[in-house]
Structure 1
């Protein structure tokens, strides 16, 4: 379970969040600038709230009063950005295997073969990043994140920049992730129809605050 109660401030932006996640897939919707991406970056540790507490699976990740700040690489949370960030000098196989090398001391949650099959990546294994379509690159990015064996997967508008045809190709993969993997996920989007398709629990973020 994720418990998140914090405030994040910048000169022209304030985000106040009290969030409890007890579902496998939680969707967060809201307009641009409402704080969706900032929330995810606080959870993964890329941004530091001004004050508050973030807990996940009974571990305190951030506590301003106790001066606890678990670094990014120790949170075991994977963040998928809007655009796939792959190593251009590596092929798909090397990009995927890289995730397994990040921490070979922990037991893998998913096998390489399971993820390649789940995301239908076998035919892409030898391609370089520049040879992939936007949808293919995003699938590889998701696969690499899963092979790092995260305890929580964050998806920051993962269909941004894809045309409607590619979006319709990628959405079923997210449904398969939800159905076949025991992994909590937070899915941020502008579009409620994506969350309806995924049968996700939903909350709305407006002007930095949860409204529904």
Structure 2
């Protein structure tokens, strides 16, 4: 487990953070700028010292105020990837990568040079200098340098914030491979919800130096009381599905989950592959009966679980769909006229799907993620 419980006074700002996450996978610290996210990972790295609390990664204790433990930065074996790559400009890519490796005794090297180069697609860049690389290439080198330092934990502070949409789409598949193949726990700071939805296994929502919620991404995103903190425009549910089959003649894919099936524009993943969808609340319509004579293909049997105000004229509905949940944003007038209350059986019509770019890592624009179906 990654176990963080710290308190720290930073000038007029007070940090009071507590969360735990599975050691494997990506833990995303999500929140608005100035909420305290970077302060948390700086404390984990040992760059700042909390006033009280503890920081533990598995069996390793990095900090414990009651036991007077404060492991120095260089002994924590933590990799840190910043917003800007911070590569050594006078060194080649190969030398930048080897810098991390040389700092670790040979007996402690469990991550080898060649597999990291292959994983991150750096082979053709080894003899080049950083100034001749694109932003995405620089970040891949930064990932490689951090990995070759043999970290027990990898920290990423807004690793895609300085990249344009095309470079961001290029780098995401590499972070997925780090998550899935290297099996090193990652803590990533982000204020971009699309990054969190695609990459994270655990989401820690931070606001004003406090943890508002922590848990699986779908669980946190499914809470109606957190829409203001996650962003009212981004309110919606996250579903984990499986590719069931493709319909090439129509350019469609059928995805299965415990609430039924969704049909989406064809995605480049074989049957049996996992897919995560972010379905925005504004793209879900609520009906009392299955509609006829409409172009919408996705109609799911649902039950109203919770109703909450979302604005002067709108309301959010949490809908149970099998063992999963959707969120719909409709007018308060519609809630009244349709007598929508907890327990009411309804039909959820999904008019738009926000889906991941294809798994090949092609530079599709993340802004084109919502497709009418």
Alignment-derived partner of residue 174 in structure 2: 173
| TM superposition score normalised by structure 1 | 0.96
Q: Deviations over 1:149-194 (max 9, x none)?
A: 1011111100011100000000010111112111111111011111
Question: Structure 1 stretch 196-205 or stretch 32-41: which is displaced more?
Answer: 196-205
Question: What's the offset of the Cα at 1:67?
Answer: 2.1
Alignment-derived partner of residue 21 in structure 1: 21
* Secondary structure at 1:33 match in 2: coil
Task: Indicate yes or no: 2:112 matched with 1:111.
Answer: yes
- For structure 2, the residue ranges without an aligned partner over 5 or more in a row are 214-373
Question: Structure 1 stretch 49-58 or stretch 193-202: which is displaced more?
Answer: 193-202
Higher strand share: 2
Alignment-derived partner of residue 49 in structure 1: 50
Looking at structure 2, the residues matched to 193 and 80 of structure 1 have their Cα atoms a distance apart, in angstroms, of 19
Looking at structure 1, the residues matched to 15 and 157 of structure 2 have their Cα atoms a distance apart, in angstroms, of 17
Question: What's the offset of the Cα at 1:65?
Answer: 2.6
Looking at structure 2, the residues matched to 126 and 144 of structure 1 have their Cα atoms a distance apart, in angstroms, of 15
| TM superposition score normalised by structure 2 | 0.55
| Structure with larger Rg | 2
On the 8 A contact 2:104/2:150 being kept in 1, the answer is: no
Alignment-derived partner of residue 242 in structure 2: none
Question: What's the offset of the Cα at 1:106?
Answer: 4.0
Q: Deviations over 1:133-161 (max 9, x none)?
A: 11111110000000011011111100011
Looking at structure 1, the residues matched to 12 and 176 of structure 2 have their Cα atoms a distance apart, in angstroms, of 37
On the 8 A contact 2:28/2:200 being kept in 1, the answer is: no
- For structure 1, the residue ranges without an aligned partner over 5 or more in a row are none
Higher helix share: 1
* Secondary structure at 1:211 match in 2: strand
Looking at structure 2, the residues matched to 176 and 18 of structure 1 have their Cα atoms a distance apart, in angstroms, of 28
**Superposition pairs for residues 53-68 of structure 1, below 5 Å?**
53-68=54-69
Question: Structure 1 stretch 99-108 or stretch 173-182: which is displaced more?
Answer: 99-108
Looking at structure 2, the residues matched to 109 and 174 of structure 1 have their Cα atoms a distance apart, in angstroms, of 19
On the 8 A contact 2:25/2:186 being kept in 1, the answer is: yes
Alignment-derived partner of residue 295 in structure 2: none
Q: Given the superposition, is the C-alpha separation of residues 59 and 199 from structure 1 closer, same or farther in structure 2, using an over 3 Å criterion?
A: closer
Alignment-derived partner of residue 35 in structure 2: 34
Question: What's the offset of the Cα at 1:201?
Answer: 1.9
Task: Indicate yes or no: 2:189 matched with 1:188.
Answer: yes
Looking at structure 2, the residues matched to 29 and 165 of structure 1 have their Cα atoms a distance apart, in angstroms, of 22
Looking at structure 1, the residues matched to 73 and 53 of structure 2 have their Cα atoms a distance apart, in angstroms, of 17
Q: Deviations over 1:58-103 (max 9, x none)?
A: 2221122332110001001111111101111100000001111112
Alignment-derived partner of residue 78 in structure 2: 77
* Secondary structure at 1:178 match in 2: helix
Q: Deviations over 1:31-55 (max 9, x none)?
A: 0110110000000100110111112
Looking at structure 1, the residues matched to 200 and 82 of structure 2 have their Cα atoms a distance apart, in angstroms, of 22
Alignment-derived partner of residue 209 in structure 1: 210
Question: Structure 1 stretch 82-91 or stretch 16-25: which is displaced more?
Answer: 16-25
CA RMSD of aligned residues (A): 1.2
